[in-house]
């Protein structure tokens, strides 16, 4: 009997070493990793720049808490602010914590301006914002609330296709904020359109509702821009949560906000023991500098197009297995006819690691440094998995 709490349905793979886009298991099998720690190891496994930053800082100082000034926070915050809409940053340890800070910042803003009744957070079906209690209430998957008591008050769930409902919710006198992933991750790699995001931004401006982007998965270069919403003019948020790739595999999360949106976040309004610790800041700064390189963003756009075109060709050849490709950059989903969990296992048999996703999708989230040759190899291995699945279907027929 395992002494670990049984909350994970783990794949039967014991990984012991990683290098670039490859993971090596204890039995000697090498896997092409298109999960990347769920879009976290954006620079691949054991990137030498990150290893050097961590090793150097580890010999100096690990943790002091936010009682004291931590210069590394100021350095990484400056990088984030300089390259985004934001004026201020709060550091935590994860995407969930970044989302929690975003939600608290939004409600606190309205209370600070004399409207404490404005508490409603409007979220969307298919969204995922983390596993803390407020984050699961903001998310669009009711299963994550099962058995944990009543819903928290002030959380509204809508469909992204229900514009009339969205407008009514934002015009309600209790509306505080709307939270959306510009490219949904777990919900099935659905990318929001330019027109949709711009219309949402305009409606937020009209109603005084704050716009929160959850770019925990789609941010930090995954779509070919440093932040996914930067593909579109006139769509910047008031508050944004980032994490995952921000630390390149080391736990780092951040809530970014405009000075106006953060007006209520004064001394004592929020905090974190480990958030922004010197180790995380050293790795985060090194990761940021590598991820913000325009050459890497151009590479992501190039290989993302290569992967998407290859996936569409696969879907065309295997209509009995898959029906659609969605997403942006290197956050891509393939909607299947057959069961996505079965496909994940079949792909592992061909030494390819892919993630699951909503709407019966598999997600491909490789490190951003994946080469064109490795993209081609991933497509070869996925086609082998599709062929195996087709053979099983024919045998069962």
Full set of structural domains in the chain with CATH: 15-33+294-396 (3.90.1150.10), 48-291 (3.40.640.10)
What is the C-alpha separation between 186 and 170, in angstroms, rounded?
Answer: 25
Q: Tell me the pTM.
A: 0.96
Cα 55 from Cα 135, distance rounded (Å) = 33
Weakly modelled stretches of the chain, pLDDT under 70: none
> Would you put residue 20 in left (φ > 0), alpha (ψ -120 to 50) or beta?
left
**Pairwise CA distance, residues 120 & 175, whole Å:** 5
DSSP symbols for 217-229: TTTTTTTSSSSGG
Contact 280, 115 (CB under 8 A): no
**Which is it for strands 361-364 and 355-357: parallel, antiparallel or unpaired?**
antiparallel
User: What are the residues whose beta carbons fall under 8 Å from the beta carbon of 361, sequence distance 6 or more?
Assistant: 188, 189, 326, 333, 334, 335, 336, 340
DSSP 27: T
DSSP 231: G
Q: Residue 357: which H helix or E strand, with range?
A: strand 355-357
d(CA 219, CA 225): 8
The DSSP result for 48-73, as a single string, is HHHHHHHHHHHTT-----TTS--HHH
**Minimal CA–CA distance to 46: which of 15, 14, 19?**
19
d(CA 7, CA 111): 37
Can you give the pLDDT at residue 143? Answer: 85
Burial 315-328 (b: 16+ CB within 10 A, else e): beebeebbeebbbb
DSSP 117-173: T--EEEEETT----SSHHHHHHSS-GGGGTTS-SPPTTEEEE-TT-HHHHHHHHHST
* Structure tokens given for 257: 């906000």
Measured CA to CA, the distance from residue 153 to residue 151 in angstroms comes to 6
Residues 71 and 164: their CA atoms lie apart, in Å, by 47
List the structure tokens of 51: 């290893």
For the chain, the maximum distance between any two Cα atoms, rounded to a whole number of angstroms, is 67
Catalytic residues: 128, 214, 244
pLDDT tens digit string along 217-258? 999 999 999 999 999 999 999 999 999 999 999 999 999 999
Chain-centroid distance, C-alpha 23: 21
At which residue do the structure tokens 């092409």 appear? 32
Distance CA 219, CA 181 (A): 9
Token output for 122: 């409007």
Q: What are phi and psi of 349, to 5 degrees?
A: -60, -25
8 A C-beta contact, residue 241 and residue 98 = yes
Q: Give CA separation, 330 vs 182, 235, 298, in Å.
A: 14, 21, 12
Query: Tell me, what's the pLDDT at 187?
Result: 86
CB atoms within 10 A of CB 220: 27
Alpha helices in 194-277 (DSSP H): 194-207
Token digits for 325? 């490709």
Q: pLDDT digit string (tens) for 83-97? A: 999 999 999 999 999
Instruction: Report the pLDDT value the prediction gives residue 277, as an integer from 0 to 100.
Output: 97
């Amino acid at each position: 009997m395992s002494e670990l709490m049984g909350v994970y349905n783990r794949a039967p793979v014991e990984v012991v070493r990683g290098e670039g886009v490859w993971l090596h298991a204890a039995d000697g099998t090498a896997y092409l990793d298109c999960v990347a720690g769920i879009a976290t190891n954006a620079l691949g496994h054991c990137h030498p720049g990150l290893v050097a930053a961590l090793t150097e800082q580890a010999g100096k100082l690990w943790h002091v808490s936010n009682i004291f000034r931590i210069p590394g926070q100021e350095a990484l915050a400056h990088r984030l602010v300089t390259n985004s809409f934001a004026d201020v940053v709060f550091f935590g340890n994860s995407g969930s914590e970044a989302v929690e800070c975003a939600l608290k910042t939004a409600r606190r803003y309205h209370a600070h301006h004399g409207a404490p009744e404005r508490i409603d957070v409007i979220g969307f079906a298919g969204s995922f914002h983390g596993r803390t209690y407020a984050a699961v209430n903001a998310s669009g998957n009711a299963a994550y609330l099962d058995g944990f008591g009543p819903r928290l008050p002030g959380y509204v769930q809508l469909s992204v296709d229900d514009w009339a409902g969205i407008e009514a919710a934002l015009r309600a006198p209790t509306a505080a904020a709307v939270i959306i992933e510009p490219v949904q991750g777990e919900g099935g790699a659905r990318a929001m359109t330019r027109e949709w995001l711009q219309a949402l931004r305009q409606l937020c401006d009209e109603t005084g509702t704050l716009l929160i982007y959850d770019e925990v998965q789609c941010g930090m270069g995954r779509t070919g821009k440093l932040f996914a919403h930067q593909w579109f003019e006139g769509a910047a948020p008031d508050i944004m949560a980032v994490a995952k790739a921000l630390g390149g595999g080391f736990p780092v999360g951040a809530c970014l906000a405009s000075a106006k949106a953060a007006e209520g976040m004064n001394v004592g309004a929020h905090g974190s023991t480990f958030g922004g610790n010197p180790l995380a800041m050293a790795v985060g700064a090194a990761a940021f500098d590598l991820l913000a390189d325009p050459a890497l963003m151009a590479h992501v756009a190039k290989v993302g197009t290569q992967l998407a075109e290859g996936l569409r060709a696969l879907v065309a050849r295997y209509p009995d297995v898959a029906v659609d490709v969605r997403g942006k950059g290197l956050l891509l989903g393939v909607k299947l006819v057959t069961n996505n969990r079965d496909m994940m296992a079949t792909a592992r048999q061909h030494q390819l690691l892919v993630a699951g996703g909503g709407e019966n999708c598999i997600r491909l989230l490789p490190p951003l440094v994946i080469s064109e040759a490795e993209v081609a190899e991933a497509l070869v291995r996925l086609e082998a998995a599709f062929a195996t699945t087709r053979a099983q279907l024919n045998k069962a027929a």
